[in-house]
Every structure is written in C-alpha cells, then in structure tokens.
Structure 1
Amino acid sequence: MRTYKFASWNVNGLRAVLKKEPSFTDIATELDADILAIQETKLQEGQVAVELPGYVQTWSHAERKGYSGTAVFSREEPLSVRRADSLLPYAAGNELVATAVTEGRVCALEFDSYWFVDVYTPNAQNELARIDTRMAWDDAYRSFLKGLEGEAGKPIVTCGDFNVAHEEIDLKNPKSNRGNAGFSDEERGKFTELLDAGFTDTFRLLHPDETGAYSWWSYRFNARKNNAGWRIDYFLVSDAVRDQVREATIRSDIFGSDHCPVELVIDL
C-alpha cells in the first residue's frame, strides 16, 4: 500500500487555459498529483500538444468539435483503458446514452490496485431539457462502475464534474435553485443511488458540516467574488477503501476556469 495524491479539474476549454497565466502546465505542476484528471477539454485529437514531463496522457475526445472531452495525466502507465463506449452494455440499448457516449465523457484507467475513472456527466440543461439523457446516463454509469469493481475485485476512485449539488449544503442558494439543472430532485436522487451502491463522497466524509465549500461559480453576478457557488466536482471511492482516505480538498485558490480543482489523498 502507498499514499497517492489525485486531482481533478473541469478546465472549461483547455486551449484557453493553456494561454492564461498561470498556465495549465503551471497549475498542474503546483498540484503535483500522481494523477490529474480534467474535464471539458473542448478539443479534437491532435489540436494541442500538452507538455507535461513525467506524465502518461490518456485522452477521450468528443466527436462533436469544441465540445466536452476528458483527459487523464498519470505518472504510471495504466494497465488498460476504457472510454465511454464501455457504458453501452449497461445501457440496454438506450439511444440517449448511445449519443452521450460519443461526447468523450469517460477515461477509465486500470492500475495494479485500483481503477481510476474520470467523468464529465451530461448537463440536464435549462428547464431540464436533457433530463432523460441524464437519468439514463446516471444509471448506466453506476452499473459501469460496479462492473469494473467486480471484474478484478479492485476498488474504484472516480472523479470529475458530476453536474449535481447533492445536498442543500452543497450550494449557496438551494431554495431558489430547487428544480433547476444540477439541483433537481431527479439528479440528486440518482447521486444518492450512486452513493448507496457502495461509494463514498470523500469531501463530505472528512468535512461533513463544512459550508461555503464550492467548486463551480457562474461567470455572472460576481458569483465567485461573492462565493455564490455550487459543489459539483467530486472524488468518490469504493466504500471498501473509505477508511484509507487521508485528505479531501477544494482548491478555490486556483483560477483559470469557472471550476476549481479538487484533490484527494488516499492510501491504496
């Protein structure tokens, strides 16, 4: 067993973050994680070259240009890699999930003692226009994780932008946002089902009552300045290793996106 540090960040457009100061590479160096997962790269294959010495790069690109996408930078070479199409056997032919899996939303990496799964969950969109896709995706993703867990008996570490604030404590204005995308009863219920299937929200494990801890802020209304945010970026782990979680941190001091990175330190 050894201690790992993991980090996850929705960059909301990697090309833009690469040009900002500090740059993505500067921030990645500061995070100094054994694995750094990112979401919403908005890239096609070959559009950028990220120089991050010492890291193996695993990408999942959306078919649609400038949309979605995930990537994982790991210091170890993974034993195997799976992407979103691996959810299809768990989707029972659902066409909505079949569309979502073309959007580069999953990078799952197998290592000796665990699976590391980076996810960018579909947004339910304004007036819950995509809620049916979201519900089907959540069911398929939960089954996919349990399938990975059962294959070789390895625990799961899954992280990313889950696009849901689970409880009222996880957003600044729960009353006015009740029923909106990201805080609908449907989405919150599916996240509860995921936790009930055998996963632990690591931040709430270590910080059960902490308020004002958010990972995303709207670009409007000075939301970040006023800390009117949402906690929608998570590290979840299999319940079997929850007692091995050492630290869970939200890096609200890091800018460059409308999200900030989240971190996990765990013994595996």
Structure 2
Amino acid sequence: MPRNSKITSTSNSKKSGASVKKPVKTESSTRRGTDQEDTPNPKRPKLNEVNTDLNSLNVNCLTTTNDGRVNNFKIASWNVAGIRACIKKNGMDYIKKEQPDIMCLQEVKCSLNKLPEEVNIDGYNNYWCLGSKEGYAGVGLYSKVKPLDIKYGLDKPEYDSEGRVITAEYDKFFIVVTYVPNAGAGLKNLPRRLQWDIDFRNYLKSLDEKKPVILCGDMNVSHQPIDLANPKTNTKSAGFTQEERDGMTALLAEGFIDTFRYLYPEKIGAYTYWTYLGNARSRNVGWRLDYFILSKNLIDNLCDNIIRTEVYGSDHCPIVLYLNI
C-alpha cells in the first residue's frame, strides 16, 4: 500500500412521512440534482452562504429498536468535499457537537503531509486512506475505541491508489467506509464503476462471512426514483443509470439492508447531496447518495438513521446511524 497512509492520534419521530413541493421538471443533466431552467431566487441563501447553527442542533435520539432497547452506539458519515475547505466552514465543530462513537469521512481531497492540525480531535483515534492524486477522493475514519485491525483498500491497485476504502474491525462487526467511483460526465467511467460494484460486493460478502458489516459512505447512486428530485430527467446521468441502480440492488440481494429505506420506505424529499448551482439545496432539489447499509443480522440492533440536512459545510450533509450494540 505505497500510497495509502495512516495517522493514529490518541488524546486526552421516526417513520413519519414528509411532503415537499413538487420540483420543476427539466431536461436531463449530468450535474446531479441541477434544475437548469429555474431562475435562482436572490432571497434564498446559497449553500456557501449558510452556516450551521450548532447551538440549535439536536444530536440526541430517543428512538429504540423494535423490541424497545435504547440506542447506545452512534456512527456518523459525511462527504466533506475537501477536508481543508470543510474545516474553514466549521466542519470539525460539527463533529465535536455530534460526538459519534465513529465518524467516517469521504472526499477528504488532501494528501497525508497536507492534512491540517485541526483534523486531530481530542478523544479520537484517526485513520486516513488517501490517494496519490492531490485534491481527489480520500477517506477517513475517527474512532473513540481503537479498532482491533485497520485495512486500507481492497488489495486492488486500480482502486487503492485513489483512497476509497477503510475497513475497521471491532469485536462484534466490521465498519467499512467508502467513496464509490463516479460514472463521470457522459458516463465515460461507467464500465469501471460497474466493475467496482462487482469487486466491492464480493469484498463485503467475504467480510460478512466472518462478522456482520456496517457499510457507510457516498455510494454515488440513488437507488430508486424516490431517492432524487428529478428521476425522469436523469436516467442517463451518473448516479441514476439503470446499471448503477442494478448494482445497488445486487448488493442488497446478498443479505444487506439500506437502513434509511427500511425505516422510511415512503419518505420523499430525503436527500443528502445538492449541487451548488441554482440554489438547489434551499429548494431541496437533491439526491440521496449517502448510505448506511447493514448486514441483515444487525437489523434487530437498528434504532434510527437520521439525515442532518441542517448541517452545512459541503455539498453533502452528514448522515447518522443509531444502534443498540
């Protein structure tokens, strides 16, 4: 693993539906979630102009498992769209407020020697799988409890040089954080993406044979039409081709659960990504690209999956999983 790197620093109401305004339908766009025909409203704030109100952010969860057990384990995941930019937008303050047991990051976009000091947060061990290309991909994992083992990548150089996977082993499960390859503009990278889906699915199956798996990250696909604002105009767009959606279906068929849709099968307007263009976030013209996916034999431990739409600092928002372990 010549390019994958590790830093360890140790220091002192659910299931209710929601209604949203029907989005304006436009021509298909390779810019995910972009409504190009809409005229931006100057009174609506742009994403970069909004700060997270951490004082009013409620990070508690009263939801229990189906048999009444309260949550005692929290995992958060966030595509930060550049760790250095996110730090400038108080992204580390969000992590300190959320206080998850495990925090997973995608699109760190930073080489190891350029990681700023602010990435070190008291009380956490941190681990980084960073690619060889500056400003591209990269994933990170924070953990209050030191894992039994850490693995970087899939043992496949064609992916591992980009920094796309960290696997952390704990007593009762594996945590896998991933940033899945994008099919790209004009779907030029679709064949590579589809091969990734096969290789990654086989990797997860091999883990699941040993211990249950908790998978999180930016999966770069909206699985069903309910998972994006404009499905009809994006069937040829990266992230919503039939081939990519079939890849997610195939993964779930292997004994894994999309926790959000398990809990909220009919909830609309639930997105985790919005383009910076056209005030998409303020209009909620978005995509659900970020997931927590569990092995089926962990489903009885599930309490809730929350989308933190009120947290800014990236074109994605964090997602949070509550479990009883």
- The TM-score, its normalising length taken from structure 2, stands at 0.76
2:121 to 43, 52, 56: 52
2:243 to 186, 192, 212: 186
Q: How many residues align?
A: 254
**Cα deviation digits, residues 171-223 of structure 1 (max 9, x gap):** 00000011210000000000000000111000111111100000000011111
Give the Cα–Cα distance (whole angstroms) in 2 for the partners of residues 9 and 77 of structure 1.
20
Quote the residue 2:273 is aligned against: 216
Matched, 1:233 2:286: no
Quick one: distance in 2 between partners of 1:85 and 1:141?
A: 8
Following superposition, the deviation at residue 103 of structure 1 comes to 0.5
Kindly provide the amino acid, as one letter, of the partner of residue 36 in structure 1.
M
Q: 2:307, 2:319 within 8 Å by CA — same for their partners in 1?
A: yes
1:41-120 paired onto structure 2 within 5 Å: 41-47=108-114, 48-49=116-117, 50-86=119-155, 88=156, 98-120=157-179
Which SS does the other structure have where 1:27 is aligned?
helix
Q: Indicate the structure whose relative CO is greater, using CA pairs within 8 Å and at least 6 residues apart.
A: 2
**Equivalent residue number for residue 148 of structure 1:** 207
Residue in 1 that maps onto 2:88: 19
Q: For residues 147 and 262 of structure 2, what CA distance do their matches in structure 1 show? A: 28
* Letter of the structure 2 residue corresponding to residue 112 of structure 1: D
Q: Is the 8 A contact 1:81 1:109 kept in 2?
A: yes
User: Which among 184, 194, 202 is matched to residue 135 of structure 1?
Assistant: 194
Q: Percent identity?
A: 41
Q: CA deviation at 1:51?
A: 2.5
Alignment check: 8 A CA contact 1:85 1:102 kept: no
- Counterpart of 2:100? 33
User: Who is 2:308 aligned against?
Assistant: 251
In 2, distance between residues paired with 1:4 and 1:46?
32
Return 5+ residue gaps in structure 1 as ranges: 89-97
Larger Rg: 2
SS in 1 for 2:211: coil
Q: Tell me by how many angstroms 1:68 deviates.
A: 0.4
Give the match's secondary structure for 2:128. strand
Q: CA RMSD in A?
A: 1.2
- Asked if the contact 1:13–1:40 (Cα under 8 Å) also holds between the matched residues in 2, the reply is yes
TM-score (norm 1): 0.92
Secondary structure of the 2:207 match is helix
Distance 1:85 1:171 in 2: 29
> Residues of 2 paired with 1:81 and 1:51: CA distance?
18
The equivalent residue for 1:5 is 74
CA distance in 1: counterparts of 2:194 and 2:322, whole angstroms: 30
Q: Is the 8 A contact 1:12 1:40 kept in 2?
A: yes
2:129–2:164 contact (8 Å) kept in structure 1: yes
Structure number having the greater strand percentage: 1
